[in-house]
Chains A and B, each alone.
Chain A
Amino acid sequence: MSAGRVFRASAALEASALVAHRGFVGLTALAAVSFLVLVSLFGLTGAYAPVALIDRDHGPMAKAFVESLGRAHHSFALRNVTEREAQAALGTGRLVGVLTIPEGFSKAIASGHTVPIEIQIDNVNVDMTEDVQRALPAAIVDFGHRQQFPGTTTRMVEHDVQAHDTGYIPYLVVSGLALDAMVIAGVLGAMATAREWERKTVTLLRLSPASRAIVLAGKLSVSAAVAFVALMLAVVVIVAVYGVIPIAPGTTVLVLGACAILFTALGAGLGALLKRTLAAVPFVFGLAMPFYVVSGSLEPIRFDGETIWRVAHLSPVYYAVGALEWAFHGLYVTPEPIYVDLLVLVGLASVAIVVTLGQLATGASR
């Protein structure tokens, strides 16, 4: 039998198996889109601390100060509520703080006096607490500069590397795509190989005169194709729902295609080692979150320290995030060049294929 026919027959068999398990495949794709949406929730609370504003002054300076609070680097989601409502919300964790502008604020400021503004902080969440503690001086500085008060001598001059900031959610959802690639392609790849042991067809495969490599290529090409389609569905969600447009659409599609193929190969290796879908699927899901966060999904991972950065190199998602953030936003989030990220993924996938072929050839039958 020619190699082409073996490949096509194997692919057709895999396709029919996926059709038979279409519920499972559909749920895998749903999990991918869900992950994308759910991780973006983290982005929604990464900034804009909900703070109640109690303005007892209502004067022009108070108004100007509130405007400065709004300019303090996406820090505050100000809520105008009564004092009683504010205290109740603060006591039940619904607010980070209550900011009070005292009566006579405008008059005192206008006559050159310094006025204290009180803030009550629910310091239960250290991240939000620190954001508020740092943001208030930023707002005060903005207020002082805009009112052109005399006596300030120094200012900060910012020079940015990127022409514009990338929003947190646009950044997160693109790195979420790398997570999706790992989950969808990993699960489908694992299922393709683990099934050989579950159905005990691995023995037949060993007895067959056909090349195991070609049979495996046929199976995995279908898994990768399905994973790619599911990933494109996630891209549609990113473009249509989040309004994030890739700066290089062609490159994005190519990188996603590469991720689909490479993670399918990695999943196949996992399936061949674990030999059970039930074990492989939770394993992929269990690894997904730690791999996601350690791979520069929230910011370039080297900013979190050398130790974590070194550990990140063990995660294939690290390299995928590097390639995808570059393709989507033009960002370099790994110190390594993009071609190195892709080459490492190819290397990992090659090792996984060798492991899979080894297991198919000589591994235990169950």
Chain B
Amino acid sequence: MIGSVWGMARNDLAVWRRSPAAIAGALLPALGMAVLVAVLTVSVGQQPVALVVQGTGPLAKHMADILREDEDAYLLEEMTEPQAEQAFAVQKVAAIIVVPEDFDQRVEATDGAVDLYLNNVDIDLSDDLRRSVTRSVAQFDAPQLSLTGELRNIASGMLLPNPYRVNVAEHDLRDTNVSFLQYQVIPIIVLIIITVGMLGTALLTARDFERGTAKLLVLSPARRSTLVMGRLLGGVVLTLMLVAPLIAAGYLTHYIERCEAGARLWVMLLLSAPCGWMLPPVSWTHALALIALLIAVTAMTVGFGTLLGVALRDVPLVTMSGLNVAAFLFFLGGGFTTVAFLPPWLQTLSRFVPTSYAIEGLRQALFYPDLTGFGRDLSVLTGCAVASVALASLALSRAWSRR
């Protein structure tokens, strides 16, 4: 029986190998999402800003230095006023910061001002710049409000007074920040599992009905349950064969030297995907948790895919339905966002989307020191996997018996 199951699985793998369009169809949306996240990683955080320093006094110079030093917030380019206006007009910069000519005199009179000319095209970009410039200007009177100040206030144990009378003492939960791309690696892996596992199995199943090969399968001497198990095993093996190298690459990228910051922009862009893929090392318990969650979500999507294929039995319809379902499972599962940060009603809705447990569980296993919630996440995924595989087996067996 094992031989027959494996034979059926191998047959499906061979069909896949001969269907580059289907493989591309299953992989392209996930790869598209990976590119999207890579581009977002480059664009998140810093905004291009022109700095015009008109004042020549020591205070104006000091203000300009504060702005120049905040490299986390701005991609600052110093310009003359006409150059800045030109750059602003053609959207080379999102804002112009002007330290005016009379800055020193006005500061002496406690009426110093730094002008921010802002292209407030949308609120996200505008607020990012407002926060950054406010902090820089505040640093002029209260150096403790710089990022370094926020992080050192606690470490140094010293409390320096400032005119705003409030300081920030920041404790970070982890040694290093996780980049946006690293944070999004998990949803992308889950999206690949959804598209390959679900869409791939659904296409194979629908194809059997369209081409009449389902009849041939039923006429074979193998038992129907064996064929059904083979179909499901084929989907699981194929999905894991595609996902495992990606996860392995996540660890191999630690050895790419060029991934370090400071490389040329085009090198960074070229390597942004493999570099960002860099997964944090985990303990063996967390590694086992990762593997268990990946297998559970793979089995679940293969079951869903088989059900979809049996229900629709039409390749174009399966393709479009599969892409729709994949989009919902990905986005509502927290693929592009963190579910816990969404409004309460969306969080409730997301609880009914099984991929939310996969993404949450995998993030917990990769980025957090403990496995809080892992039991619940694995239970839900395993339950969905068992239910979908059982239903898929039943549906496929019944559909084939009617051919």
Pair A41/B337 contact, Cβ less than 8 Å: yes
Beta-carbon contacts of A200-223 to B below 8 Å, as 1s and 0s?
000000000000000000000000
Compute how far the CA of A13 lies from the CA of B48 in the bound complex, rounded to whole angstroms: 53
Least CB distance from A335 to B in Å reads 4
Best-surrounded residue of B140, B316, B363 (most CB of chain A within 10 A):
B316
Closest to A155 in B: B113
Counting chain B residues whose Cβ lies within 8 A of the other chain, the interface size class is 35 or more
Residue A126 CB within 8 A of the other chain: yes
Question: Which residues on the A side are within 8 Å of B92 (C-beta)?
Answer: 302, 306
Task: With A118-B171, A162-B120 as known contacts, state yes or no: A126 contacts B91, CB within 8 Å.
Answer: no
Question: Which residues on the A side are within 8 Å of B26 (C-beta)?
Answer: 282
Pair A151/B166 contact, Cβ less than 8 Å: no
Question: Which residues on the B side are within 8 Å of A306 (C-beta)?
Answer: 92
Question: Which residues on the A side are within 8 Å of B43 (C-beta)?
Answer: 298-299, 303-305, 308
Least CB distance from A318 to B in Å reads 13
Compute how far the CA of A75 lies from the CA of B134 in the bound complex, rounded to whole angstroms: 13
Question: Which residues on the A side are within 8 Å of B150 (C-beta)?
Answer: 133, 136-137
Q: Which of A49, A65, A128, A129 contacts B166 (CB 8 A)?
A: A65
Pair B137/A156 contact, Cβ less than 8 Å: yes
Residue B253 CB within 8 A of the other chain: no
Residue A286 CB within 8 A of the other chain: yes
Interface residues of B in 272-304 (CB under 8 A from A): none
Residue A149 CB within 8 A of the other chain: yes
Residue A348 CB within 8 A of the other chain: no
Beta-carbon contacts of B357-371 to A below 8 Å, as 1s and 0s?
000100110011010
Residue A4 CB within 8 A of the other chain: no
Closest to A167 in B: B123
Pair B169/A119 contact, Cβ less than 8 Å: yes
Compute how far the CA of A38 lies from the CA of B91 in the bound complex, rounded to whole angstroms: 28
Pair B169/A308 contact, Cβ less than 8 Å: no
Pair B346/A156 contact, Cβ less than 8 Å: no
Compute how far the CA of A154 lies from the CA of B134 in the bound complex, rounded to whole angstroms: 10
Pair B168/A300 contact, Cβ less than 8 Å: no
Question: Which residues on the A side are within 8 Å of B115 (C-beta)?
Answer: 156-159
Residue A362 CB within 8 A of the other chain: no
Question: Which residues on the B side are within 8 Å of A94 (C-beta)?
Answer: 340
Compute how far the CA of A137 lies from the CA of B128 in the bound complex, rounded to whole angstroms: 13
Question: Which residues on the A side are within 8 Å of B159 (C-beta)?
Answer: 114, 116
Least CB distance from A32 to B in Å reads 10
Pair A113/B161 contact, Cβ less than 8 Å: yes
Least CB distance from A57 to B in Å reads 12
Residue A153 CB within 8 A of the other chain: yes
Task: With A140-B166, A302-B91 as known contacts, state yes or no: A35 contacts B116, CB within 8 Å.
Answer: no
Pair B131/A138 contact, Cβ less than 8 Å: yes
Task: With A45-B342, A154-B140, A304-B43 as known contacts, state yes or no: A278 contacts B25, CB within 8 Å.
Answer: yes
Residue A241 CB within 8 A of the other chain: no
Residue B3 CB within 8 A of the other chain: no
Task: With A116-B168, A302-B92, A335-B91 as known contacts, state yes or no: A165 contacts B120, CB within 8 Å.
Answer: yes
User: Interface residues of A, CB < 8 Å — how many?
Assistant: 118
Question: Which residues on the B side are within 8 Å of A331 (C-beta)?
Answer: 121
Beta-carbon contacts of A334-356 to B below 8 Å, as 1s and 0s?
11000000000000000000000
Pair A305/B48 contact, Cβ less than 8 Å: yes
Interface-side segment among A21-29, A228-236, A242-250, A263-271: A21-29
Residue B119 CB within 8 A of the other chain: yes
Best-surrounded residue of A115, A117, A152 (most CB of chain B within 10 A):
A152
Chain B contact residues: helix, strand, loop or mixed: helix
Compute how far the CA of A270 lies from the CA of B43 in the bound complex, rounded to whole angstroms: 30
Question: Which residues on the A side are within 8 Å of B162 (C-beta)?
Answer: 114
Least CB distance from B86 to A in Å reads 11
Closest to A293 in B: B36
Residue A47 CB within 8 A of the other chain: yes
Residue B194 CB within 8 A of the other chain: no
Question: Which residues on the B side are within 8 Å of A133 (C-beta)?
Answer: 147, 150, 170
Question: Which residues on the A side are within 8 Å of B174 (C-beta)?
Answer: 122-124
Pair A293/B327 contact, Cβ less than 8 Å: no
Residue B94 CB within 8 A of the other chain: yes
Question: Which residues on the A side are within 8 Å of B338 (C-beta)?
Answer: 45, 93, 125
Interface residues of A in 307-351 (CB under 8 A from B): 307-308, 331, 333-335
Least CB distance from B148 to A in Å reads 11
Residue B241 CB within 8 A of the other chain: no
Compute how far the CA of A289 lies from the CA of B195 in the bound complex, rounded to whole angstroms: 15
Task: With A74-B123, A155-B113, A290-B35 as known contacts, state yes or no: A31 contacts B327, CB within 8 Å.
Answer: yes
Question: Which residues on the A side are within 8 Å of B135 (C-beta)?
Answer: 134, 137-138
Least CB distance from B141 to A in Å reads 5
Residue B54 CB within 8 A of the other chain: no
Compute how far the CA of A114 lies from the CA of B168 in the bound complex, rounded to whole angstroms: 10
Pair A41/B336 contact, Cβ less than 8 Å: yes
Q: List 5 A-B contacts (CB under 8 A).
A: A134-B128, A144-B166, A281-B320, A308-B269, A333-B121
Nearest 10 pairs of A and B residues by beta carbon: A286-B28, A151-B163, A282-B25, A144-B164, A154-B112, A38-B331, A134-B131, A304-B43, A94-B340, A27-B320
Chain A residues with CB under 8 Å of chain B are 21, 23-24, 27-28, 30-31, 34-35, 38-39, 41-50, 65, 72-75, 77, 89-96, 109, 112-131, 133-138, 140-141, 143-144, 147, 149-162, 164-168, 171, 191, 276-279, 281-283, 285-290, 292-294, 298-300, 302-308, 331, 333-335
